[in-house]
Each structure stands twice: as C-alpha cells, then as structure tokens.
Amino acid sequence: MSYLEYAVKTVPSGLRKVLYLNWPLILLLTAVCSVGFLMLYSVAGGSFQPWAEAQMKRFGLGMAVLFVVAMVPIWFWRNVAGVAYLASLALLLFVEFFGSVGMGAQRWIDLGFMRLQPSEMAKITLVMLLAAYYDWLPMKKVSHPIWVAVPLFLILLPTALVLNQPDLGTSLLLVFGGAAVMFFAGVHWGYFTAVIGIGIGLVTAVFQTRGTQWQLLKDYQYRRIDTFLDPASDPLGAGYHITQSKIALGSGGWTGRGFMQGTQSRLNFLPEKHTDFIFTTLAEEFGFIGAVSLLVLYVLIIIFCVASAVANRDRFSSLLILGIGVTFFLFFAVNMSMVMGMAPVVGVPLPLVSYGGSSMLVLLGAFGLVQSAHVHRPR
Amino acid sequence: MKRNNRDSADSARRITRRALLLGGAQLAFGGVLAMRMRYMQVDQADEFRLLAEENRVKVRLLPPARGEMFDRNGAVIAKNEPSYRIVLVPEDAGDVEQVIARLANLIELDPDELAKARKEISQNAPFRPVTLADRVSWEAISRVAVNAPALPGITPEVGLSRQYPLGPDMAHVAGYVGPVSDYDLSKIDAPDQLLLIPRFQIGKVGVEAKLEDSLRGKAGNKQVEVNSAGREMRELNRREGQPGANLQLTIDHRLQNYVQARLGRESAAAVVMDCESGDILCAASAPSFDPNLFVRGISVKDYRDLTENKYRPLANKAVQGLYPPGSTFKMVTVLAALEAGEVTPDETVYCPGHMEISNRRFHCWKRAGHGQVDLLTSLRESCDVYYYDLALRVGIEKISEMARKLGLGERYDIPMSAIARGRAPTKDWKLETYGQDWVVGDTVNASIGQGYVLASPIQLAVMTARMATGRALAPRLVKSIDGVEQPMPSDAELDVNPEHLRLVRRAMYSVSNHRKGTAYGSRIIEDELRLAGKTGTSQVRNITAEERRRGVTRNEDLPWERRDHALFVNFAPYKDPKFAVAVVVEHGGGGSTAAAPIARDITLQALYDGEPPLEAYPKAARSKVKAQQERLRRERREFLKRESDRA
C-alpha cells in the first residue's frame, strides 16, 4: 500500500492545507474545552489554580499536536498504524511493571510536565490499526471467521492489559470502540447479534440463578449490582457518590444556581468534582439549559465526524473517523449516564472537560487524525 | 497497486449505510441523555433541591441564658457567671499529645477530664473542639493566652455556668442545676432539643427544678452551611432564643441567712411566713450544703459525706420533714371542741397527772398533775389530760377536719421538691392503710399531736398564720416571674368562729408571757412586739409502764436519735400579727428549751429587720443573747472571708 493510491495532485499541499481543515469541528472542540475551563475555574472556588490554568496549557499543547498531526498526510498515519499499536501495547506492558498507581488504580508514566496514560493512547491506536486492517483486507473476506478472529484478538490484547490495571471503564471503551470499527467495516450482522444475544442470556442467567445453589456471582457482587440499580439503598456507602451526584444534578433545575453558586460541589459533597463528576457541577450551576447545551456540542461533533466520514471515499479515512467518533461518543455517553445514575460508576472522564492531561492530549491528537483524513481525502 | 473500483465503491456504500445507522443510534442515545436530564433537572428538580438543602444546611442550637433568681429585696440567689474552659481543636494542634503536655506545664489538668477528652479526640472528627479543662480560673486562662503561640489548636472559650452566691443559705429553696442525665430524659416525653446538648444543665431540685420551664427559656438557632465533613463554612441565618425568665422569690435572704446560722449545727428547720400575704420569708433547713459543689460536679467523697451524715443535710426539712406536732397541735383540738360546742372556755377539767381510757393509762407530761384546768391554763401549761378529755368528746373526725382547715395534711402548691403532705388522720384512712379500726386511744394520742398526726414545719407555720389572722392564708414562694407579680394563692376567711380564734390566741399569748407559761423564758419584753406561741415536745419512742415507775429517762441521757423533737410555733406581734414562725429541732429535747429561744430570736430578727436590740430580751437572757449575737457575727465574718478567698 502506498500513497500512490491517493490522487496526490488534488490534495492541497504546504500551508494551504490550513484552509482545508474542518474548521467547524475545531471550533466545536474549542467550545467544549472552554466549557471545561469555566467549570474547572468554578470548582476551584473561583480560581485558575489548581486546575483551570493547567488545563489551558494542555489545551494549547493539544491544539499544537492537532495541527501537526493534521498536516501530516493520512497515508503516513495508516502506514504507522501497526507501529503505533505495538508501541501502545509496549507502554501498557511497561506501566504494568514500572508504572505508578494513582487514584482509581489507573497506571501512568510521569513525563515531568504531564502524566501519560498508555490506556488512553491504546484507544486511538487500536482504532487506527483496525481501520488499516480493514483497509488492507479485501471486502470478500471481511466476514470470514478467520478474518474476524484477527481483529478480535487485536482488540482483546490491550483490553486484557487495561482490565488488569484494573480500569473497567477504559476496557469497555476499547471493546466497544473496536467493535464499532468492525461493524463499520461490514462484518456480518450475525456476529453482532450473536454476541448481543449471548450477553443478554448471560445477564439473565446471572439474575435468575441468584439465591439458588448455582448462583454465578458472589453475594457481595450481587450487592454491588443492587447498589447500582438502587443507590438510595446505601446512601453513605457504595451509593454515596452517585446519590450525591444526582442530588447536585437534580437541584440545578431549568437554569441552575448560577455560575460559581453550586453548593454541592463547593461544599465537597461531590466526589471527584474536577474529574469524572465535573458534569454535575455544570448541571447544578447552569441547570438543564447548560447541560443540554454541552450535550448538543458533543452531538454536533459526532455529526460532523459522521458527515466527514461519509463524504470521504477513502476506506481507511472513513473507518478511522467513524471509529474515533464512536470512541468520543462512548466517552461522554458513559460519563453522563454514570453521573445521572443510568450506568455504574466506572471511572470514565467527560471528554475535553474533565481535568486530565493524557485524555485531552490524546483526544486532540485523535481529532488531528480526523483533520488529516479530512484534508487529505481523495477528490 | 490501484484498488479495484467496484470493490471500493461497494465498501463506501456499506460504510455510509452503517455509519448513518450507528450515527443515528448515537444521536438517539443523545436524545435519551437529554430526556434523562430533563426528567432529573426539571420534573424532579424540587425534590432534589430539597435533598441538596438538607445536605448543605444544618441547624445549630443557641442555648438561651438561664433565668436568674433574686430574693424579695433583689439580692442575687442564682446567677450565670462566665466560666472559662480550654478547648482543643485536634486538627489545628498537629501533635496533640505534645500540645497537651505543654498545657499541663502551664495549668493543672484534671486526669479524669483529660481521659475523657482523649477519648473524644479519637472518636470525633478532627475539627470538632474538645474540652480539655472546664471552669478554669481567669489566671489560668491568661497564662494560656500569653503562651498561645506555643499551643496551636488551643483556645480559651467562655460559657455561662450557674452560681449561687449565697451558698448553703439558699441551697434547699433554690436547689441547684446539673447536667442532664439519662434518667432526666427518660422522664420527659418529647425532650426539648436543648436537653440533648452535651453538658447542658437543668434544675435538679428545688425552685431550679420545679420552675425549670420558666427558667430555661427558649433556644435560638442558627442555620449554618456545612461541607460534606460537617465543618461549618458560614452562617446563613440566626434566630436569637429567648432567655429564661428571672424569678424573684419571697425569701428575705438576710433573714434566711440569720436563721440558717441560728439553727447552726442542729438538725432543724424553721419557717417564717408573712401574715399579710402568706409570703414565705424564710424556709431554713439545717444543716445545709453548698449547691455550687453540685454545679461543678461533686466529688464522690463530698457526696458521701452528705448522704452518710445522720443529720441529713440534703433533705429540705422545712417542707419534707414530717414530725408529730406534739403540743403545738393542741390549738387544733381545742378549736375543734369549741367549734363543736363541746367545751366552754371556763369549763374546767381535773388533771391528776393521768387518765384511764379503755383500761389504758394515758399520762400527762406533769406526773403530779395540773389540778383543775380551764382552756387558758391547759394551753399555757400544756396540760395533756385536758385534751384527752376534749378528744373523747369531739372525736377524731372533727379534730382532723379542723387540722385540715388550718392547713395540716395538705400539700401546698409551691415550687419545692418532694413536699410532704403530712397527715390529719381519719378513721377511713386508718382502715384503708392498716386495715384496722380506729380506736379511742388513737384519738387520745392525736389530740396532743402524737400518734398518727404528722406535720411539716411549713404546715405548722401556715397553721399558726391562719390562727393569727383568721384568714385561710397559703404559702407563696415566688413573688414575681419576669417582673410579673404572682397572685396570692388564697385569701379567704377562715371558716372558724373569730371569737374562738381570739380565745386561742390569748391562750398562746399567755404561753409566752405568763409566769407559768411553758415559753415564758423565751418572751419578748418590748410591749409592742410581744409574741404568742406554743411549745411542743413530741416523743419518738414509747415510754413503757416500767420506765414510768422507775422514772422517765431524761433526754440528755438518751442517744440523739431517740430524744424528743422540740417544736415551737408562734406569731408576733400579738396585737397585730405580722409574722408566723415555726421551728422544729429534731431530737432537740424540750420545745420550751430547745425550740422556743430559737423562734424568739428569729421573730425578733424579722420584727426588727435585722439584729434586735438587747432591750427586747428579758434581763436574765441578755448576757447569753449578747454572747450568741457576737458568735454569729464572727461566724458570718469568717464565712464571708472564706467566700471572698475562694472567689
């Protein structure tokens, strides 16, 4: 495979590429990040320290990464997909043995100016490799069992390493993100319905056997599920976070309490108020209108991605953009579901808003790939 | 290597289809999220907002200042004094043990208090203040303040604590406060939130306990914003409470002080009642105790000393002590007989020194007998046989009825603890209580205030006041609550022929002014102030026939607890009664020797509103009285000096 497949002559070159960037998408990303700065300023009690300022610096760095990645032709990124995948696997293995363990047991490497979480990188490199794989694989073979087993293996390898950290949220994102790329690539419906069917059957079996001598989970594991299903049953224990989160969110009302007036986050009732639960602060201070506005921004980003992918005739580019879009979607969907009590607390940050360096850099880098695909699309 | 066009077109179609499909699913899920937001933030907003308020706002109680207590002249009986305590916030202290060690070098720390504090430190959140020392002196506080830089986390705090400046004088009347106990709480159905504050003090006995509701006041509260750890961040709202009501008692603290001192180390009680209003000017019970000990938390040793003392310092004998009234009851018997028309003043009864009734011999205190006695001489010389004779004619029911008219056997509505009802016995009462029929001997015993008859000193004072005034006076102890004058409990005419009362009063006059009167030695010689009284000596043991043959053992030869009670009741001045006085000296011997002199001194003190001149006393008594007055003055000086030293 080479760049010769692309009609290189029709692709803009040099600094002219800047004009061909998907600017609406960049503006949307900047808007979402700005919401993040605002909220981090608010949860710090009206101060740029300790979060907002650092987040802004990372945003600057992230934007630089985005532009650099966008300038590099997309075929280069396709050609290094395998290397990138192997590199993130190596980093995952590295942190498995030498990494530092922080809150929530996620492992990272301290780079001095930021902490790099290889699991964040893995999400993108996995999508890259799968897109490249299906770009290489002839359409006829896509649904062949052997050629379905290969991407499954590619997905499960980093997932197993991340699950071992243990980081349930990221593992789920890896699995769903990878599966989404397979789906886009045209893998037969049957595989997906089969997996979903088995999943439903397993869940039913778990619940049906409860209390019998064949029960599949331990009692404490059932209790955790209970707490998820009804957090009020244990408001000071396992359900504390989610109960407090719902209280803060629900008390926002239509228009919220006003900027910097959120009582629940200010008084520390909210856990992880600057990271995973930052959405509750937004919802409390700006109410339904504020929360839905952020949701609309996110959905617009997805729409722009899908539109860009559909318009792109290059298979690798389409799959890459769609895969990154789904990964991004999973981020905010899981996070919002979690803080609204619709999903268990699995530790997924709100993309581009939650405080966190790796996530911001990796996501903006990924959108750099989206831009590169957009700029270098066959015309 | 160019890609197959058909292949790539097929791929593009499939991708587009699936992209739109999954994109639509993502959009749909975004819609679900939006709906969930709407449901929580709009539909359920009120509910969640309420939960948020509960999270955030805590109500803290502001204890009200307890009402103060004054005597009838405005002297302070009970007040709130700033009390200093030393408080440690473990969070600010850093090394708690080191700070405590430094503090111990500066001031004295009570090991018990310290152990309690250490326990609290280990259990509470680190920002919760813990009291290390309570009721520390101003000097200790200043020493701590000067060394503040070396004592991180230590703050001196000021609170209010109860203080009784008159000490033992008012202990029985005012009572004292103490921390709320579980037992206190168990007695109350819906306890005031205040009572749940640690170390909150409530009245335990006396007026402090009985008028607790008035004295306590209403708690205020403040709403504070707290964070998730419970630390106060800022005050949102404050509603001041209502301080407790100030009380003015009817007690005259100077008279009370004198009487308490005059009773001295006897086990005795004395009550002075105002014949005009029924005000209790003095209700003394000796020996007494220092109520301040209880407020501070009395030591086990001090408490044992009080409970094991056979003179029972903790009992308020003025209202709780029940005694056979002895001969002070004879006025009741004679009034009952007069009212029943069973006797005339001039009728005489022969007293041979005893009387045979249903094969039992009832003795007069005077073995040789009084000879012919009429009403006046019988009371003056306290002839028992005369009353035996009257009792047989009148019967117990009428005697008891008269006793109740005069205020015996009745529990008055005054705010003191464990007020005794006393007893004006009836036939029914005996049948109910003992399942035995009333016998005539019971009536005979009752006629001279022995047997089943029991009265407390305050009841005897009321009886005397009622006879002196012809009005059904009832005692009043609280003059005003928060400046509102309390009504006289009762001011009805006494349902007794005034002529009969006059006869009894004249007889009482002669008890203490006739040369043959049993209290002649304790008379007042100032004409305008002469007192009229009656002695009483009540037996607490049976005297056997054998002992009578041998000669009755003298009181001085008996162990203390078997000696007779000495009683005296009187009013003065005779012509225009102002005060009614009752004195009981437990196991004091004879009423004329042990109780009458005390009553006379108290009466004079009340009449002169201070120390009386020696001229009011009979010449023979003056040197003794002078010595006594000097002794009391000296003791008072020493007491005041001790108090000021302690303060």
Look at B55 and A267 and tell me if their CB atoms are within 8 Å.
Answer: yes
Q: pLDDT confidence of A1, banded at 50, 70, 90?
A: very low
Say if the Cβ atoms of B41 and A250 lie within 8 Å.
Answer: yes
On the question of a cis peptide bond just before residue B243, with omega within 30 degrees of 0, the verdict is: no
- Using the 8-state DSSP alphabet, how is residue A124 labeled? H
- Told to judge if B11 belongs to the known catalytic residues of this protein, a careful annotator would answer no
Question: How much is the pLDDT for A205?
Answer: 86
Residues of B in contact with A139 (CB under 8 A): 7, 10-11, 14
pLDDT tens digit sequence for A122-172: 999 999 999 999 999 888 888 889 999 999 999 999 999 888 877 777 888
- Residue B198 is predicted with a pLDDT of 66
pLDDT digits (tens, 9 = 90+) for B565-610: 999 999 999 999 999 999 999 999 889 999 999 999 999 999 999 9
Its pTM stands at 0.65
Distance between first and last Cα of chain B: 108
Q: Which phi and psi angles does A156 have, rounded to 5°?
A: -70, -25
- Average pLDDT of span A101-120: 68
- Say whether B460 sits in a helix, a strand or coil: helix
Query: Each residue of A44-89: pLDDT tens digit?
Result: 878 888 889 999 999 999 999 999 999 999 999 999 999 999 999 9
- Classify burial at B296, counting beta carbons within 10 Å of its beta carbon; exposed 0-12, middle 13-18, buried 19 or more: middle
Most confident of A2-11, A87-96, A114-123, B340-349: B340-349
Residue closest to A351 by CA, chosen among A110, A176, A173, A181: A173
Cβ distance of B27 and A303 shorter than 8 Å:
yes
Taking CB atoms and an 8 Å limit, are A251 and B49 in contact across chains? Answer: yes
| Residues B78, B87, B229, A266, CA torsion sign | positive
For B476, which DSSP code?
Answer: B
pLDDT confidence tier of residue A235, bands split at 50, 70 and 90: low
Q: Decide: residue A252, CB within 10 A, 0-12 exposed, 13-18 middle, 19+ buried.
A: buried
**B111-143 CB burial, b ≥16 within 10 A, e <16:** eebeeebeebbeeeeeeebbbbbbbbeeebbee
Q: Residues A296-354: pLDDT tens digits? A: 999 999 999 999 999 888 889 999 999 999 999 999 999 999 888 887 777 788 999 99
How many residues are present in chain B?
647
Nearest to B55 among A247, A333, A336 (CB): A247
CB contact under 8 A, A254 and B42: yes
CA gap B232, B84 in Å, rounded: 23
| Ramachandran category for residue A103: left, alpha or beta (phi over 0 → left; psi -120 to 50 → alpha) | beta
**Beta-carbon contacts below 8 Å between A and B:** 147
Q: Do B227 and A268 touch (CB under 8 A)?
A: yes
Is the per-residue pLDDT at A91 higher than 80?
A: yes
State the pLDDT confidence band at A265, using cuts at 50, 70 and 90.
low
Catalytic residue (choose from B285, B327, B417, B512): B327
Q: With contact defined as beta carbons under 8 Å apart, do B374 and B348 qualify?
A: yes
CB B322 within 8 A of CB B194: no
| ipTM value | 0.90
Return d(Cα A174, Cα A182) in angstroms, integer.
Answer: 12
Question: Is any Cβ of chain B less than 8 angstroms from the Cβ of A299?
Answer: yes
Q: What is the DSSP letter of B357?
A: E
User: Of B250, B71, B77, B98, whose CA–CA distance to B175 is shortest?
Assistant: B77
β-strand partners of B422 = none
Distances (CA, A) of B491 to A330, B458, B555: 90, 17, 41
The beta-carbon neighbor of A288 closest among B2, B42, B51 is B42
Band of pLDDT at residue A256, cut at 50, 70 and 90: confident
Count of positions (residues) in chain A: 379
Chain A segment 195-224 residues within 8 A of B by beta carbon are none
Residues 94-153 of chain A with CB under 8 A from chain B are: 138-139
The C-alpha atoms of residue A368 and residue A72 are separated, in whole angstroms, by 9
Write down the pLDDT at residue A229: 67
Distance CA(B541)–CA(B283), nearest Å, equals 28
Q: Which of A245, A267, A339 to mutate to test the interface with B (most CBs of B within 10 A)?
A: A267
Q: Are B279 and B273 in contact (CB under 8 A)?
A: yes
**Partners of B283 in beta bridges:** B271
DSSP A150-219: HHHHHHHHHHHHHHTTT-HHHHHHHHHHHHHHHHHHT--HHHHHHHHHHHHHHHHHHHHTTTSTT-SS-H
What residues does each domain of chain A span? 3-375
Residue indicated by tokens 């005369």: B386
Residues of A in contact with B1 (CB under 8 A): 1-2, 4-5
Paired strand residues for B357: B360
AA letter at A247: I
Radius of gyration of chain B (CA): 37
**B188, exposed or middle or buried, with CB in 10 Å at 0-12, 13-18, 19+?**
exposed
Within chain B, which residues score under 50 in pLDDT? 1-2
pLDDT at A182: 93
Smallest CA–CA distance, residue B19 to chain A, in Å, is 6
Taking a C-beta distance cutoff of 8 angstroms, is the pair B64, B241 a contact?
yes
Rg, Å, chain A Cα set: 21
CB contact under 8 A, A5 and B2: yes
Extended strands (E) in B366-436: 371-373
**Residue B256 identity:** Q
SS3 B602: helix
